[in-house]
Structure 1
Amino acid sequence: MSILQSGTPNYLKTINKRKVLQEIIEGDNLYSRASLAKRLKLSKPTISALVDELVEEGWIIEKESKKAAKRGGRKPVHLVFDKQFKYTIGIDIGGTSTELAIMDLDGGLILHRKIDTQDGLKKDFILLLVNEVNAMLEDKNICHTKVLALAIGAPGITDSDQGIVMEAPSLGWLHYPLKREMAEHFPFPIYIENDVNMAVLGECWKGAAKDKSHVVLITIGTGVGCGIVINGELFRGGQYAAGEIGYMITNKDQASQGFESVFEGYGFLENQVGGPSIVKQYQSGSATKKENAEKIFQKAIEGEALAAKIINEALDHLAVSLINVAALLNPECIVLGGGISKSGHWFLPKLQARIEHYLPEQSRTTVMLTKLPHASLLGTTVLCMKKHALLSS
């Protein structure tokens, strides 16, 4: 659906057309033309003309209800959004692995693939992504004209307006023009955003934070990321660096003594609670050299002394960061994602108790675990649809 600038003759019509489509997509009810006119307070002829256009363009399908009207007569005709009229492509670049997906406009996963990030960076990473995307489209027989847009979540500080990854330590990128590099290969729009910002969009759309307007998502994996939604909108900060809590100091004495960074450019908190840091600490005190962070968490749950010591120290740092975030932003909830969320049933009560102990009642918040296996990928669909005015802001 084309979007016009204000002041043009068809601007009001375009705005109403957008409202009609957004209501059909986001509304809780199945609408007929008459009920939609009542809902949006527009005349029936206006609604009918707009619906006709949306049906002709392919965004809406009219389906006859299986149930007859209460008073008899013909069955009502409902307006249904065609979620596979277009598709979105999402790419979530992580420090360890990169996930790619084709999704429909309801966030449904059509095809999903994963590649090794660090191995890909040793080659032509952009060409690798391009070839994967084209192969996936070919596998599903989807042509470029059926793609609404492609959105990429990148780790680190990202200028979403220019599509530049300003700094991503785990990738070795500095002022990397990711949008420009990808746009050379595709005819459809390409959007770049911080990966955790993508994930918090997904959480607010269909995840643990659904229907909430003030949300903080903290993901803990290779590093630590944070996405912030205030009044229903992403908060990026003055230089796109809001949410870089990986640099938060959670123990001033320990920080003043200096610390060895797992990745060059990583901050204090990331070097206490990130997966590679936990593995490194465990390996330095154990003869076992092949454990990953998930297994170390499991050992801590089972009571192994070394694992429990390392994990409890990491949780202490995490608790301090959550208290600081809650005190500063007063979110409705803090959602935890990334690999750490898999062990949440064990440590979540401890974190919640720390928050309730140190914060006044008005500053307390609920800590939740993500319910989405692919929050960042889902967020790419949200971003694409918002950019094309298919979802309300």
Structure 2
Amino acid sequence: MNRILELSSKLGLTLQIVKTAFAAALSWFIASSLLHSEYPYFAAVAAIITVQVTVADSVNKASQRIIGIIGGVMISMLLGHWFKIGAVSIFFIILIGMGLAKALRMNPQIISQVAISSLLVLAFGQTKAGYAYERIFETILGSGIAVLINALIIPQDAIPEVKKRIVSYSKLSALTLRGLSALLNNTGPRLKTGRTEVNKLIKEAADCRKAFELAEQSLRYNPLLTHKRKVLDRLGADIRLLRSITIQIRGIRRSLADLQLNNTFQTGYPAKEQLILALEATANCIDAFGQTIVDPSEEKTKRLSTAIQLARQEQARCLESLTHTSSLPILQDMGSILTDLSRIVAETERPDIEAEEVFIETSSAESSP
């Protein structure tokens, strides 16, 4: 099935296009053949407009169109008795309809539908009996069929994209933390601050959040994907942990930037290399964490546990080196860095047991008859 979809997509026949064509055809068939509607094209048009990427988007589009059409029909029916179709009547009907919709703070999509419906009902409603009611009914029919087709026929699953973004986010987090070690040996005239790298990480966090929100929309109003909501909820919790790690990395950058300006640290602190080792070991935890939460396995869980243990050891050695330091500014900045590093490890440590439980559940499910 995936190969067929990929080949069709290369030819321009995406899944959404196929769904749109099928929804329009089915709406026309039901309206004309089964319900013997006089205006079946309204149902087909509504179906074409309603099919969107996600079911939630389709529901939103359908509700906007239905509300706009009902509003436009009501305005034309109320005011059409005093107007005949012409340039002046069109001006006032659209002016009043869009003005009321705007005053009620309706969506721009609804406002445009109010104008279109007002115009069409004014033009045809006076000469064709039942036109206004048929327009409302056919729109509801076409929109409903489009929503059902979007929900039932190969509904979009955005979870793989969320997992992909999480892996990218975790890798960039680890890379950024490793890169901050360059601030320890940066003594040239143009000091590195790490601000650009951290800002890039913040942007990646926003992109990951957007992917998660899109996945939430893809599952909304879709009963067939209920079982995937638990997976998405767990991924959402993992994204929050990564965001917390990002906050700690920002704090580490600021502390390292302060230490750059401390002459005593640059010339007299003997444990710089140990701090670099602690940064590297903690970054390894983030890498292992990202792989474990997306695709948990016994091997990855053990790798994460080992990385956490090593990071704790390197951080403890850094803490021991502070006993030989009497400079209060160095103690404050180093204490802040070690606190943030410890918090990062704590964040990666939380899903360790959860990942093992997920792996056990998956293995049990696969082995059961």
Greater share of strand residues, 1 or 2? 1
Q: Which protein has the larger Cα radius of gyration, Structure 1 or Structure 2?
A: 2
The TM-score with structure 1 as length reference comes to 0.24
The TM-score with structure 2 as length reference comes to 0.25
